[in-house]
């Protein structure tokens, strides 16, 4: 058993992935491969590295391939047993052995905050991690979530990962303001979802890694639709920051925005180069 205080990781995975049409017409965007692994598998591996083995996945219509991926395919296993192809399934098989996967469906798309609230039934009353699989991270020695779990052990409060982005790109992200309490660690004083660069409180953008304390669910239930008419986790976290404490952590490592074609291609090139170096 790991001694991580965080046992469960939530993956909001109900979105349509319209930026990748037509491929996302019948294929979940979380299943798009960077080299030979789907995006969501990278996320699950990051969670496992952080000592988490319960994966809670919020899916929607047309996402069955995710469930099939994290399951045994007897026919396929039988077919490749004893051949040179067998090792190709080793990584996914080891995840299936180590982890439990549970699923719930988000019936209506009402935003990331709503997706996280939908996952409450799988999480219950305990702190949990959230990974947005579109944000693909590579961190050498310690994954972002591992770094964040270490911080959680010290501070016991919600933590979001942040990265400096060019000011003109703040409209794509939740953006924070805060006071630096340790190098690279900020106590949040303000957060805005996808502000215009002229209204952005800083260029510190939230990326898709969160550790949340379970009181966030009650806050989300009371959170009114915000930017784009959607229930935003950023707004709920601002409430939590005002009532108590929320931290923002400037992680070390690289992040690719695989929700965009440019980021996806950059990630593919990066992981391809890396695979050649080994």
Residue window 115-134: x/- pattern of binding to ligand G1P, with contact defined by CB under 6 A:
-----------------x--
- 234: contact with ligand G1P by CB under 6 A: yes
> Restricting to residues 56-115, which ones interact with ligand G1P according to CB under 6 A?
112
Which residues contact residue 17 at a Cβ distance below 8 angstroms, ignoring those fewer than 6 apart?
Answer: 24, 28, 29, 32, 259
Q: From CA 185, how far away is CA 179, in angstroms rounded? A: 8
Which of 56, 136, 204, 207: binder of ligand G1P (CB under 6 A)?
207
Task: Kindly tell me which residue out of 10, 205, 219, 258 binds ligand G1P, with binding defined by CB under 6 A.
Answer: 205
Question: Sign of torsion, CA 117 118 119 122?
Answer: positive
Min. distance of Cβ 132 from ligand G1P in angstroms?
A: 5
In whole angstroms, how close is the CB of 239 to ligand G1P at the nearest point? Answer: 15
Q: Let me know: does 64 contact 31? Beta carbons within 8 Å.
A: no
- Expressed in angstroms, the distance from the first to the final Cα of the chain is 31
Using the minimum distance from each CB to ligand G1P, give the nearer residue, 173 or 251.
Answer: 173
Subset of residues 134 to 193 that bind ligand G1P, contact rule: CB under 6 A: 135, 173-174, 193
Q: What's the half-sphere exposure (Cβ side, CA atoms, 13 Å) at 194?
A: 10
Q: Token digits for 202? A: 């800083």
30 binds ligand G1P (CB under 6 A): no
Q: Give the number of residues in contact with ligand G1P, rule: CB under 6 A.
A: 13
């Amino acid at each position: 058993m790991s001694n991580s205080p965080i046992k469960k990781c939530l993956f909001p995975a109900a979105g349509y992935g319209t930026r990748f049409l037509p491929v996302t017409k019948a294929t979940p965007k979380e299943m798009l491969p960077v080299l030979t692994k789907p995006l969501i598998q990278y996320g699950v591996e990051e969670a496992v590295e952080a000592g988490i083995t319960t994966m809670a996945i919020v899916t929607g219509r047309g996402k069955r391939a995710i469930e099939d991926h994290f399951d045994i395919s007897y026919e396929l296993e039988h077919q490749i047993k004893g051949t040179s192809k067998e090792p190709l399934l080793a990584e996914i098989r080891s995840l299936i052995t180590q982890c439990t996967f549970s699923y719930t469906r988000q019936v209506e798309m009402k935003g990331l905050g709503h997706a996280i609230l939908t996952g409450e039934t799988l999480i219950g009353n305990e702190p949990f991690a959230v990974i947005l699989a579109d944000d693909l991270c590579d961190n050498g020695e310690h994954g972002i979530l591992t770094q964040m779990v270490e911080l959680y052990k010290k501070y016991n409060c919600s933590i979001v990962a942040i990265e400096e982005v060019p000011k003109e790109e703040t409209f794509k992200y939740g953006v924070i303001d805060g006071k630096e309490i340790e190098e690279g660690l900020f106590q949040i004083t303000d957060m805005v979802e996808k502000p215009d660069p002229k209204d952005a409180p800083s260029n510190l953008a939230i990326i898709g890694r969160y550790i949340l304390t379970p009181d966030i669910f009650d806050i989300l239930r009371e959170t009114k639709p915000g930017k784009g008419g959607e229930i935003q986790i950023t707004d709920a976290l601002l409430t939590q920051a005002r009532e108590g404490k929320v931290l923002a952590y400037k992680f070390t490592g690289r992040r690719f925005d695989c929700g965009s074609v440019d980021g996806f291609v950059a990630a593919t090139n990066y992981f391809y180069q890396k695979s050649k170096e080994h």
